[in-house]
Chain A
């Protein structure tokens, strides 16, 4: 079902909290996501090894071990619900039959655990966006595109409860924008290229989901905003630039919901804080318990409003206690148990916990500040006051920079002298973004390197 979003589903700060969404999702087995409890979502990946026909028996063995041991521990820890994400590696998408085979393997263990122990389980399957294997990427044709969609179909048939992706339309331009600190190029990549690709892609993914009775969940801007976050963490780009990119991705990721996605949005999609406020659909997030996959300045604040709480990904390697996926599972169970205990005591306790999680991070980094629930409501309201992806992205730029300037002046967030210099630079660039999308495209096209991007794949 296609939708337009022109008002917030969550506009009251007290309604914006972990575990509760205005439009919860119910799985076939009765598990409800966003219905009051936060559910752990475990993701895991292979240790260092090649994937080939010859190594597939070992690949199966690795996944079998990871899912079996994690489910066993979840039962031992009295978890009531567990979602597992199978994020396909490129090789498992390039050969869709392999991806489907592992999906079926995971499904079987989850079903068996549910039958034997009553642990309600859900399976998210996330094929890899392999379209970028052709350079410049062919987004709407060619073998890679066909195999990717076939992978979605086969994994849906093999037992996925919901399908997701971290699509990369526009990334071929956005990587350069991040490194150059180029706001105009970032807006072009996200507000024009990525948003157009999302409309095409999600129309097809939703159709596949409808055909197989699977939930179309969402599309993370990981390749955009998390790339920026990791680079900021390494001090390669300013934190304020990474914070701005985070909000710039909101209109792009919203397109999946306009095309029919209903959540839960992907764990690494921190822009999900905004999509939850706008759409009311549940989201997954990750933070402190995802340090096994990447460092971040938002470990606690990310716990403020998720419906699924994830570890992002962890390799199947042995730690002192157990294999790493089992360790992650245990960390997620304890983290969600605390949140759910707070909720069980009533909204006063839940809100107090939420506010502590927010307060502990939000002043230390602009990337944390823009995830504050009140800030997300405020900026989301401004973003959806516009109707097109470009206008929304432009508004996101102007509103976020103004918000951070005010926050810095009020002492609500700490910005160094160098970061403030960047705030001025980015603000000047944002002020020069034209109102008219056509004018903007006209200005940008002569500056785009045709060797890097097939503009015709984006209706340009």
Chain B
């Protein structure tokens, strides 16, 4: 691994966003393959961040700082990746369903997906089925991730899935769901492709859905 790639890796691990951007720029100027910068520097660093999180050494605040450093580097790297036709891990539309305003869990999932190099389109809270459908059509995302915290709003996940089916888009996207009142069984009942009980497992699920 070149010194610069190693520096980028450490910058992201330690959440040094300015240095991460500086070193990504320098690496591109030195002609290092953008895909190498992405995979060996940035994605590998976020993988280590994830490992430290799993071991209880890092919490979400540290992960956020690392994710920001990665985003800073990605902003510089994206044009080069596009030129080389390098794709993101996947593209995800995420939102809290109609009638529900709880979004911390949804935000965490979005943040962790970004850290794993997914392209995330966050629709926010109280999202209608129509908005999900519009986003599928406009982004071409492979995954729709829905969240609900209330027993009285979880039913809107089923409504949304039915609307996606009615719009003829069900075959184009995988659907994953999460939220306190949900379960594997409920996800299966409403026709979702997967359920995650927490944000870190949501990344594993998303990877498996696009894998």
Q: How many residues of B contact A (CB 8 A)?
A: 28
Query: How far, in angstroms, from A205 to B102 measured CA to CA in the complex?
Result: 24
Chain B interface main SS type: loop
* Pairwise interchain contact A234-B198, C-beta atoms closer than 8 A: yes
Could you say which of A2-10, A159-167, A176-184, A331-339 contacts chain B? Answer: A176-184
Closest approach, in angstroms, between the C-beta of B122 and any C-beta of chain A?
Answer: 12
**What total count of A-B pairs have CB within 8 Å?**
72
**Which of A43-51, A193-201, A251-259, A265-273 is near enough to bind chain B?**
A43-51
Q: Which residues of A contact B59 (CB under 8 A)?
A: 181, 235-238, 241, 418, 422
A235 to B199, CA, bound (A): 11
Contacts of B124 in A (CB 8 A): 135
Contact residue among A48, A89, A181, A241 (Cβ-Cβ distance under 8 Å from B155): A48
**Complex interface residues of chain B between 153 and 175 (CB less than 8 A to chain A):** 153-156
Q: Say yes or no for B140: interface residue by CB 8 A criterion.
A: no
- Cross-chain contact A179 with B61 (CB below 8 angstroms): yes
A315 interface contact, C-beta 8 A: yes
- The residues of B that contact A45 with a CB separation of less than 8 Å are 151
Q: Is A299 an interface residue (CB 8 A)?
A: no
B58 → chain A closest CB, angstroms: 8
**A236 with B152: CB separation less than 8 A:** no
In the assembled complex, the CB of A44 is this many whole angstroms from the nearest CB of chain B, namely 11
Instruction: Report yes or no: A231 in contact with B57, Cβ–Cβ below 8 A.
Output: no
Q: Are the CB atoms of B151 and A315 closer together than 8 Å?
A: yes
Q: Is A35 an interface residue when CB atoms closer than 8 A count as contact?
A: no
Which of B29-37, B74-82, B103-111 lies at the interface with chain A?
A: B103-111
Chain B residues, Cβ within 8 Å of A227: 104
Q: With a CB–CB cut-off of 8 A, which chain B residues contact A91?
A: 99, 152
Q: Which residues of B contact A238 (CB under 8 A)?
A: 59
- CB contacts (< 8 Å) of A241 on chain B: these are 59
Counting contact residues on chain A (CB < 8 A from B), the size range is: 20 to 34
**Residues B61 and A132 in contact, CB atoms below 8 Å apart:** no
**Residue A90 lies at the interface, judged by CB distance under 8 Å to chain B:** yes
Give every chain B residue within 8 A of A236 (Cβ-Cβ): 59-60, 108, 199
Q: Contact check, A178 vs B104: say whether CB atoms are below 8 A apart.
A: yes
The residue that B60 contacts in the complex, of A48, A231, A416, A422, with Cβ under 8 A, is A231
A51 to B186, CA, bound (A): 18
Given known A227-B104, A418-B56, contact A90–B99 (CB-CB < 8 A)? yes
CB-based contact A231/B104 at 8 Å = yes
Which residue of A49, A133, A234, A237 contacts B152 across the interface (Cβ within 8 Å)? A49
Mask, B86-108, CB within 8 Å of A = 1, is 00000000000001110110011
With both beta carbons as reference points, the residue of chain B lying nearest to A45 in the complex is identified as B151
Contact (Cβ within 8 A) B60 A179:
yes
* In the assembled complex, A175 has its CB within 8 A of some CB on chain B: yes
A90-B154 in contact (CB<8A) = no
User: What is the bound-complex CA distance between A91 and B156, given in angstroms?
Assistant: 13
Q: Are B101 and A179 in contact (CB-based, < 8 A)?
A: no
Chain B residues in 8 Å Cβ range of A133:
101, 126
Taken together as a complex, chains A and B put the C-alpha atoms of A241 and B59 apart, in Å, by 11
- Chain B residues, Cβ within 8 Å of A418: 56-57, 59
A46 to B152, CA, bound (A): 7
Q: State the CA gap A227–B156 with chains docked (Å).
A: 23
Given A46-B152, A49-B151: A175 in contact with B60 (beta carbons within 8 A): no
Q: Which of A45, A48, A51 has the most CB of B within 10 A?
A: A48
Residue of B nearest to A129 (CB): B101
Q: In this complex, which of A50, A132, A231, A238 has the most chain B Cβ atoms within 10 angstroms of its Cβ?
A: A50
Nearest B residue to A182 by beta-carbon distance?
Answer: B61
B56 touches A237 (CB 8 A): no
Q: How far is the CA of A180 from the CA of B156 in the complex (A)?
A: 30
Interface residues of A in 412-450 (CB under 8 A from B): 416, 418, 422
When chains A and B are docked, how far (Å) is the Cα of A42 from the Cα of B104?
A: 27
Q: How far is the CB of B52 from chain A (nearest CB, A)?
A: 10
CB pair A179 B108 closer than 8 Å: yes
Closest Cβ neighbor of A94 among chain B residues: B99
Shortest Cβ distance from residue B51 to the other chain A in the assembled complex, whole angstroms = 14
Residues of chain B within 8 A of A46, CB atoms compared: 151-152
CA distance A227 to B101 in the complex (A): 14
With both chains docked as a complex, state the minimum distance between the C-beta of B5 and any C-beta of chain A, in angstroms.
28
A50 touches B156 (CB 8 A): yes
| Cβ of B193 to closest chain A Cβ, rounded Å | 20
Residues of B within 8 A of A422 (CB): 59
Least Cβ–Cβ distance between A296 and chain B, in angstroms: 14
Cβ of B196 to closest chain A Cβ, rounded Å: 12
Selected A-B contacts with CB under 8 Å, 14 pairs: A46-B151, A47-B151, A90-B99, A133-B101, A135-B124, A135-B125, A179-B64, A179-B107, A181-B61, A227-B104, A231-B104, A235-B59, A236-B60, A236-B199
Give chain B's interface residues, CB within 8 Å of chain A: 56-57, 59-61, 64, 99-101, 103-104, 107-108, 111, 124-126, 150-156, 181, 186, 198-199
6 new A-B contacts at CB < 8 Å, known A133-B101, A178-B104, A236-B59: A46-B151, A89-B152, A132-B101, A133-B126, A235-B59, A236-B60
8 smallest beta-carbon distances between A and B, as pairs: A181-B61, A50-B155, A236-B60, A48-B151, A89-B152, A237-B59, A51-B152, A180-B61
